[in-house]
Amino acid sequence: MTLDLSVEARGAVAANPLPAGLRPPVTPDLIADDAHALLTARRLAAKFAPEAALRDRERRLPWDELDAFVASGLWGITVPREFGGAGVRNGTLAEVTAIISAADGSLGQIPQNHFYALEVLRVGGSAEQQRFFYQRVLAGERFGNALAEIGHKDFKRRTRLTRGADGWHIDGRKFYCTGALYAHWIPTLVVADDEGRDVTYLAFVPRDTEGVTVTDDWDGFGQRVTGSGSVQFEHVRVEPEWVVPFQVSFERATTIGPLAQIIHAAIDLGQARGAFDAALQFVRERSRPWIDAKVERAADDPLTIAQFGDLAVRLRAADALVRRAGRFVDAAQAKPSDRSVAEASVAVAEARALTTTVSLDAGSRLFELAGTAATLDGLGLDRFWRNARTHTLHDPVRWKYHAVGNFYLNDKLPPRHGAL
């Protein structure tokens, strides 16, 4: 198979009407720099937090919030400066994600694959592809994802890109398609025959293309409004210039994996912050002290104080590891090599190991410290643990420890893929 990726990308998405529910792109502001991105994220988080529990309880899809999120300019912050974006540091991207995730874990996760697709473009796309898709993002268009197969390990049965008399087409079915429900483009992992060898590509499919069906069938108990349902492709036409090399990007040292993983770490960090802040507020304002503490306020209980201290230290440590990992990813992007990318992967794995455990612990200890009254369903405080438990299953933390240990003990470089 030969795809001509050198042609200037056609400047228009298919002219079909927008699918039911999908809104046209909003016009984003332009984020100037890292400081501007962080300030904007804090402003948005303050608006998103008040109804986060209600959105979770009623499974209310956050269309208005997403429009505000995109209009802020934050979805374009990783577009390189030479293409008109802010080109922020990876630590800033992680902190923006954590700030939004503390307010609403689902909203923090929705753009994860959007930024992942931008990194795939940066690493493997042609200059024409980069110019076209970066412009689409800066114009307010959102990327979702259709990466995960439903039970097909056999490449012959996976979602495929084939060529017919009338052009290139995609057929297959995907699940865990976070953000696809809200997307204008759905970057889709496809397998194609290349001179007798199956090779993977990332095809950017316009959401409104005939044959694309997005089903809102995600019913996990956490991250309930991420739009992580399924996508069906039935003889879906795709232009060859919308297809970006994927497999070859992992046959050399690139930062696609570490970039994806640092965003996941930031989501968990934000979940932990949200649970910690909710616990502080509840204990200060509503909890009753234990009788043996012999104090008037629950916040004066010495054992409760010690528990908060322990959690605060571990939260600060997780925060520091994420910031440190961001610097390693920055360095690897600037000078990619087997060693620099491996060091970035290990630094991010260290961060993910701790953000995983602290997000789960913060969500659980919220109830231990706040007491029975915190379990009332109308409060929605259980969402922090449910969201953390659901999101931390994205890939197993036990393999993070293995990768870290193998690197230090045996100088074994971690594998190259999107989950490490």
Whether residues 38 and 131 fall in one domain: yes
Whether residues 257 and 376 fall in one domain: yes
Domain assignment present for residue 369? The answer is yes
Q: What does residue 199 show for φ and ψ, rounded to 5 degrees?
A: -130, 145
pLDDT higher than 70, residue 270? yes
What CATH number should be reported for the domain holding residue 222?
2.40.110.10
- For residues 272 and 42, what is the distance between their CA atoms, to the nearest angstrom? 16
Report yes or no: 168 and 205 within 8 Å, Cβ to Cβ.
no
Of 11-15, 55-59, 272-276, 367-371, where does mean pLDDT reach its minimum?
11-15
153: confidence class by pLDDT, cuts 50, 70, 90: low
Between residues 6 and 325, which one has the greater pLDDT? 325
Domain assignment present for residue 273? The answer is yes
The C-alpha torsion from 210 through 216 and 220 to 224, rounded to 10°, is: 120
Q: Give the mean model confidence (pLDDT) for residues 388-399.
A: 95
- Whole-model pTM: value is 0.94
417: confidence class by pLDDT, cuts 50, 70, 90: confident
pLDDT higher than 80, residue 10? no
User: 3-state DSSP call for residue 24?
Assistant: coil
Q: Which of 138, 171, 187 is the last residue of a domain?
A: 138
Whether residues 164 and 63 fall in one domain: no
User: 3-state DSSP call for residue 174?
Assistant: strand
Position 419 scores a pLDDT of 74
Which pLDDT tens digit goes with each residue over 338-373?
Answer: 999 999 999 999 999 999 999 999 999 999 999 999
Q: Which of 138, 157, 190 is the last residue of a domain?
A: 138
Whether residues 175 and 303 fall in one domain: no
Q: Give the mean model confidence (pLDDT) for residues 88-112.
A: 98
Position 152 scores a pLDDT of 56
Whether residues 234 and 305 fall in one domain: no
Whether residues 294 and 353 fall in one domain: yes
Whether residues 259 and 403 fall in one domain: yes
185 is in which domain, residue-wise?
A: 148-245
Domain assignment present for residue 382? The answer is yes
Report yes or no: 120 and 246 within 8 Å, Cβ to Cβ.
yes
Q: Which of 199, 223, 245 is the last residue of a domain?
A: 245
186-222 exposure pattern, b = at least 16 Cβ within 10 A, e = fewer: bbbbbbbeeeeeebbbbbbbbbbbeebebeeebeeeb
310-329 exposure pattern, b = at least 16 Cβ within 10 A, e = fewer: ebeebbeebbebbbebbebb
Whether residues 291 and 353 fall in one domain: yes
User: 3-state DSSP call for residue 364?
Assistant: helix
pLDDT higher than 60, residue 17? no
Whether residues 134 and 162 fall in one domain: no
What CATH number should be reported for the domain holding residue 284?
1.20.140.10
Whether residues 274 and 322 fall in one domain: yes
Size of the chain, expressed as the number of residues it contains: 420
Position 7 scores a pLDDT of 41
Report yes or no: 112 and 178 within 8 Å, Cβ to Cβ.
yes
Whether residues 238 and 262 fall in one domain: no
Whether residues 274 and 404 fall in one domain: yes
What CATH number should be reported for the domain holding residue 125?
1.10.540.10
